[in-house]
Structure 1
Amino acid sequence: MKLLAVTACPTGIAHTYMAAEALEVAAEEAGHEIVVETQGSAGSTPFTPEQLAGADAIILAADVEVRDKDRFAHLPTVTAGVKKAIGGAPALIEQAVAAAEAAPKGTAAPAEPQLAVKQTGPGVGSKVRGWLMTGVSYVIPFVAAGGLLIALGFALGGYQITDAPSVTESFSWTSHTSWAALLFQLGSLAFGLLVPVLSGFIAYAIADRPALVPGFVGGLVAVEVGAGFIGGLASGLLAGGLIFWMKKWKAPKAIAGIMPVLVLPLVGTAIIGGIMFVVIGQPLAAITTGLTNWLNGLSGSNAILLGALLGLMMAFDMGGPVNKAAYAFAVAGLSTNSQTALLIMASVMAAGMTPPLAMALATTVRKKLFTEAERENGRAAWLLGASFITEGAIPFAAADPLRVIPSLMAGSAVTGALSMAFGSTLRAPHGGIFVVPLIGNPFGYLVAIVAGTLVSAAIVIVLKSVGQKKKAAATTESTSAPRAAAHA
């Protein structure tokens, strides 16, 4: 069989490429050819017309909306999440082969019409999650660039840089304060786009390009009325749902051609903008204000417990929906500009760095407990962990989930709690060890990471050692029983 596959995850960094590699290995072992298009953060190389024409089936392994999906309308399709591709690639290959055999070339459904509504999964829950993750995936580059620029501005000019005049009014090429102000103001502008981008691409995931303008404008209104990320989520879902419904209209032939470029964006923007301004904007702003006050009120043991909880979430599925929920909570808090939000961001990143570092340490200290492939993954996990790519621990968790996942959760909870207790703060939403100079109380931050790494590595080693002893004892009993019977 000649198979195609598309892999895509919200961040477009680790899961996307790990899923692609797993599918390639599984297809080769099964004796099939496969070409994978990775729709990651570095862009993608689309399938050629020859590859599309010669394929027997396609696998869509994605947690976000697959781009240009109408290219595959003529092919039998198998849909799954990226984690399914990472841990169960052989089964997906088998499903694709079975689908191809059941529907030979040329018998699949015709191509989708121009205004067909996108689908993201079999159930309502998976569809909503796919829409939200699509929005988050487009937000992350803005968050990373804006957050790092703001952090660099603070590092160069101090926290008083927030009071600096606009660089359009006062800028000196020889003043480090002016350069700090430039970095800070650029980062602030990038951060100002977070909510509109989130809203726009949630709407895009639901109803394609005609929903972009209503989504973006709805997000801008959410910022204007103070509704923040909660308002962006609401406006994105509303805009996408409205355009979803409007696309089902049977337009007269005279205006059918301008529906996607004029009528739908115009009507959708007017309706969503009006709803956000005069109906739900203020209630959502009140909720956002309440969340900000709650964050500002967290202190002492409550903050430490929150850090532990976020640590547990970061290590539970290592890049999956629970991990992304904790990360999205931290990033959303940055927009409130509260001190507690900075504590939360530091706690979340530290806890997300711990799992790969712990597995790297465990494979270094007790090599005999791990396979050669795991030891190789362990060497790569040092850099992945240092770069805040929690997915570096996934191969170990997939191979031995009952021992590895609880161990990693324990260490990340320790790291998250200690980071909170030490009062470490972070304005940049990503960067790992490379933004430590920009972290408040960097020494305490590093101590928290080291402590959590040691805890997880120690627990993993103990559990795996016990498991090997039990396995060896069972093997001894099974071999000694026939000998005893023969002797008798």
Structure 2
Amino acid sequence: MKFVAITACPTGIAHTYMAAESLEQAAKASGDEIVVETQGSAGSDPLPEEAIASADAVILAADVAVSGRDRFAGLPVVEATVKQAISGAAGLLERARAAAAGGEREPAASADPAGPALTSKAKPGDGVGTRLRQWLMTGVSYLIPFVAAGGLLIALGFALGGYDVTDAPPVTEHFDPASIASWGALSQQTGALAFGFLVPVLAGFIAFAMADRPAIAPGFVGGAVASATGAGFLGGLVAGLLAGAVVLGLKRVKVPKWMAGVMPVVVYPLLGSAAVGVLMYLVVGKPVAAATTGLTNWLGGLTGTSAVLLGALLGLMMAFDMGGPVNKAAYTFAIGGLTTDAQASLEIMAAVMAAGMAPPLALALATAVRGALFTPVERENGRAAWLLGASFITEGAIPFAAADPLRVIPPLMLGSAVTGAMSMGLGATLRAPHGGLFVIGFIGGPLQFLLSLLVGTLVSAAAVVLLKQFTGAARTA
């Protein structure tokens, strides 16, 4: 049979492409044909029209809203999560075959005069807790490109200009093309501007996830006020939720039909921005700013055992779901601290990245030293996991965890906890929010960082091998 599929995860980095590969391998094994469109952070190559026209069914493996879904009007559609595609692609193909034989078909969609919509992970039918998590994850997913660009530019600026690069005059007033320090200042100041968007972007897209495009402007305004009042990331979270709630409330007001066209373009953004501005400036901003200051001071006071325990906790979170909500919560906590430039915040960023690198590296090592305990497919994934781990893509461990969660996830959590605790205890720091070993030059205390990563990787690899060895893991040739 012939299928087309779309894969899309909230961040659009690793899960999206792993799900696509899993579907392609399953189709090859079953003798079917499949063409997959990956709606990732780098954009997507649309499915060929001829592939859609000849398809027997459509598979949508996505944790966010799928863009261009109207293309599949009249075709049987099977919907699943990205995780289901990664760990159970063969089952999805079976469901697609059943759907082709008599399942529900995608209804025709009316054209949107405003053009292609942004995508939100939030779905109306979900419970309050689920929707809240989805709203926050939508904000984080749109935040990550700004984090990567701004953070790496700032780190490059420090590498070129030294730690006093922040004292350099604005490059609009003084720039010497022959001076490395000037290029460092240019990089640092550009990165700082990009980093300045973090809180408004977070708030704007949380609001968007709640109330669609009319809430983006109020969300951005609320995020900007949060930055101006010193409320930081916590203020951005509150501002996004406030903006979404205000616009949702405005949408409930019945208006004459002749006004309906201007409401989402003019009235909702205007009234929403005004209301959120008042609430953030006069009611919410100062208390949240006080809480942010208290958190920053607490982090700055972490030493000894308390710092080690925090590093262990963050390590456990990074390995628990390997790119899922818990992992992203730890990562978001770390990048939020980068905006404060406090020493403890830089240590937290280093601990989080090292702990996120350990799981795929540990499994790559385990498959290399005891390949007989793993299937041929796992050994192949293990070879790819070396690069994924070195690049700080924790999702490289997911195929192993999905196939054998009880003997893989606990050892990975143990090793990542060791990594995070050692990194915090040894005082490694990091100004870059991503990059893995490729940003080793931006790490303060690189030997401490690498030692923490090595020990945690060895602990996880040994624990995985021992569990598989003594609990009857099937040996393969």
Q: Scaled by the length of structure 2, what TM-score is found?
A: 0.90
Q: RMSD value over aligned CA atoms?
A: 2.6
After TM superposition, the structure 1 = structure 2 runs for residues 32-431 of structure 1, keeping only pairs within 5 Å, are: 33-47=33-47, 58-69=58-69, 77-98=77-98, 103-105=103-105, 108=107, 111=110, 119-120=122-123, 122-431=126-435
Structure 1 counterpart SS, 2:429? coil
**Which has the larger displacement, 368-377 or 91-100?**
91-100
Does the Cα contact within 8 Å between 1:387 and 1:431 map onto a contact in 2?
yes
Distance 2:76 2:4 in 1: 10
Contact 1:2–1:32 (Cα < 8 Å) also in 2: yes
Q: Offset at 1:64?
A: 3.4
Give 1:50 deviation, angstroms.
5.7
Please list the CA deviations of residues 50-97 of structure 1 after superposition, one character each: whole Å capped at 9, or x if unmatched. Answer: 656665654433333434556567666544432222123334444455
Q: For structure 1, which segment, 331-340 or 59-68, has the greater mean C-alpha deviation from structure 2 after superposition?
A: 59-68
Would the aligned equivalents of 1:313 and 1:323 in 2 still touch at CA under 8 Å? yes
Q: CA deviation at 1:246?
A: 3.3
- Confirm or deny: 8 A CA contact 1:65 1:134 kept in the other structure: no
Task: Please say if residues 70 and 108 of structure 2, whose CA atoms lie closer than 8 Å, have aligned partners that are also in contact.
Answer: no
Deviations 1:424-468 (A, max 9, x none): 000111010011111111011111111111111111111111133
CA contact (8 A) 2:211 2:245 kept: yes
- CA distance in 2 between counterparts of 1:123 and 1:47 reads 33
Counterpart contact for 1:74–1:111, Cα < 8 Å: no
- 1:259 maps to amino acid: M
CA contact (8 A) 1:56 1:105 kept: no
Shift of the alpha carbon at 1:194? 0.5
What does residue 8 of structure 2 align with? 8
2:149 and 2:104 map into 1 onto residues whose CA distance is 47
SS in 2 for 1:6: strand
Deviation at 1:30, TM superposition (A): 5.5
Superposed CA offset, 1:277-321 (max 9, x none): 122122211221121111111111100111111111111111111
The whole-number CA distance in structure 2 between the counterparts of 1:296 and 1:6 is 45
Which stretches in structure 1 are left out of the alignment for 5+ residues? 473-488
Residues 77 and 105, structure 2, Cα contact 8 Å, conserved in 1: no
Letter in 1 for 2:296: T
Tell me how far 1:33 sits from its aligned partner: 4.8
Larger Rg: 1
Give the stretch that moved more between structures: 275-284 or 305-314: 275-284
Structure 1 distance, partners of 2:344, 2:419, is 17
After superposition, the C-alpha distances for 1:194-249 in whole angstroms (9 at most, x for unaligned) are 01111112222233322221111111111111111111112222222333343454
Question: What is the rounded CA distance, in whole Å, between the counterparts of 1:251 and 1:71 in structure 2?
Answer: 33
Q: Please, what TM-score do these two structures have when normalized by structure 1?
A: 0.89
User: What letter is aligned with 2:409?
Assistant: I
Contact 2:322/2:397 (<8 A) preserved: yes
Q: Which deviates the most, 300-309 or 175-184? A: 175-184
SS in 2 for 1:468: coil
Which moved further from structure 2: 339-348 or 173-182?
173-182
- Larger deviation, residues 330-339 vs 50-59: 50-59
| Gap change, CA 1:28 and 1:126, over 3 Å in 2 | farther
Aligned in 2, Cα 1:34/1:265: closer, same or farther, shift over 3 Å? farther
Report the Cα distance in structure 1 between the residues aligned to 2:166 and 2:93, rounded to whole angstroms: 54
Partner in structure 1 of residue 24 of structure 2: 24
Structure 2 residue matching 1:437: 3-state secondary structure: helix
Residues 74/202 of structure 1: CA separation in 2 closer, same or farther (3 Å cut): farther
Q: Distance in 1 between matches of 2:392 and 2:305?
A: 26
Please give the secondary structure, in 2, of the residue aligned with 1:173.
coil
Give distance in 2, aligned partners of 1:377 and 1:177.
Answer: 43
Q: How far does residue 123 in structure 1 lie from its aligned partner after superposition?
A: 2.7
Q: Which amino acid aligns with 2:400?
A: F
Question: Matched residues in 2 for 1:25 and 1:432: separation?
Answer: 28
Match of 2:463 in 1: 459
Q: How many residue pairs get matched?
A: 470
Question: Distance in 2 between the 1:242 and 1:54 partners?
Answer: 45
Letter in 2 for 1:61: A
Hey, what does 1:475 align to over in structure 2?
A: none
C-alpha separation between the residues in 1 aligned to 2:248 and 2:84? 29
SS of residue in 2 equivalent to 1:159: coil
Per the TM alignment, residue 417 of structure 1 is displaced from its structure 2 partner at its CA by: 0.9
Give the corresponding residue for 1:484.
none
Q: Which amino acid letter does the alignment assign opposite residue 16 of structure 1?
A: T
Q: Which amino acid aligns with 1:461?
A: V
Moved over 6 A (4+): 112-118
Between 381-390 and 246-255, the greater mean CA deviation after superposition = 246-255
